[in-house]
């Protein structure tokens, strides 16, 4: 059953229009009203086709999860028999186990919550670490994972031919290897020792970076500290330049300034999260995944 309508919230209207145009389908907004006490009231189209997709990229996710709860259950009452969540950025994937007694395993909890609302999930480069596949984290009948690494690799090939790709930590290895293979880039990966959300230590690989144009590539830039530490170390080791390419441009707080202060020259990202650094569009791939 093909998706017939793409629903979206007003703040993602531009993204929805790109995806709907690429898919050749209609799109419609969900109206949202906030009461003085902070509660939300949503209004969907009065009648829906059997298969509907709902676009919501889950940066700053807490309120958006409530939006999904209200929207998905309402859509079922308005004629939708199958619902697909199109979440270019999927939040709460990093906490996949309890590291100390009493911790909530948020990946498992949020994943099951979403699976209770949707029949399928489409996302881009979810931050899976100890869990191998998306359907383990979000147990739906159809779980689709796309990657921004190939498009970022194409951009790097145009902007920095012959670049050395470097992963800022071990978790980035999967994306760096994928991007490197696409254009035959040299690549290597740093080692990260984390002391807190904003306190990290980066150990550079035993690789001669002198005179090389380096691109740090990762799935997400959040606080910016890991990328900034890696950039400073690479420049100190003799790299000619350091740029950054990421799938998800979260850039919390002063993350962007941290990168500039560390000597990063350019930052490129996909449009999974709207940000001034967006340089490549995932819309065609997302649209194709809705077939």
Could you give the residue numbers annotated as active site? Answer: 192
Cβ-Cβ contacts under 8 Å for 56 (sequence gap 6 or more): 8, 9, 12, 64, 67, 68, 85, 86, 87
Give the separation between CA 286 and CA 266, rounded to whole angstroms: 26
What does the radius of gyration of the chain's CA atoms come to, in whole angstroms? 20
Q: How far is CA 48 from the centre of its chain?
A: 28
Q: Report the residue count for the chain.
A: 291
Q: Across the strands, what pairs with 176?
A: none
CA angle 245, 289, 273 (to 5 degrees): 35
Give, in order, the Cα–Cα distances in Å from 253 to each of 198, 205, 223, 257: 11, 29, 7, 9
Distances (CA, A) of 178 to 23, 83, 155, 183: 26, 31, 14, 9
Q: Determine the Cα–Cα distance for residues 56 and 90; give it in Å rounded to an integer.
A: 9
């Amino acid at each position: 059953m093909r998706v017939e309508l793409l629903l979206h919230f007003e703040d993602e209207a531009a993204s929805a229009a790109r995806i709907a145009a690429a898919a050749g389908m209609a799109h419609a907004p969900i109206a949202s009203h906030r009461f003085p006490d902070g509660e939300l009231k949503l209004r969907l189209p009065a009648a829906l086709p059997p298969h509907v997709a709902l676009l919501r990229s889950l940066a700053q996710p807490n309120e958006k999860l409530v939006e999904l709860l209200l929207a998905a259950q309402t859509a079922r009452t308005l004629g939708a028999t199958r619902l697909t969540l199109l979440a270019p950025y999927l939040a709460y994937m990093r906490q996949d186990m309890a590291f100390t007694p009493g911790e909530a395993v948020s990946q498992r909890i949020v994943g099951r919550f979403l699976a209770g609302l949707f029949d399928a999930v489409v996302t881009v480069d979810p931050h899976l670490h100890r869990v191998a596949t998306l359907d383990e984290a979000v147990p739906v009948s159809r779980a689709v994972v796309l990657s921004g690494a190939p498009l970022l690799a194409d951009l790097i090939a145009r902007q920095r031919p012959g670049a050395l790709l470097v992963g800022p930590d071990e978790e980035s290895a999967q994306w760096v290897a994928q991007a490197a293979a696409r254009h035959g880039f040299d690549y290597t990966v740093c080692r990260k020792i984390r002391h807190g959300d904003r306190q990290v230590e980066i150990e550079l690989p035993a690789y001669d970076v002198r005179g090389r144009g380096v691109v740090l590539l990762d799935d997400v830039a959040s606080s910016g500290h890991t990328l900034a530490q890696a950039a400073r170390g690479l420049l100190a080791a003799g790299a000619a330049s350091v740029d950054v390419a990421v799938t998800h441009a979260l850039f919390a707080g002063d993350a962007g300034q941290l990168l500039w202060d560390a000597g990063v020259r350019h930052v490129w990202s996909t449009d999974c999260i709207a940000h001034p650094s967006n340089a490549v569009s995932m819309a065609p791939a997302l649209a194709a995944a809705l077939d």
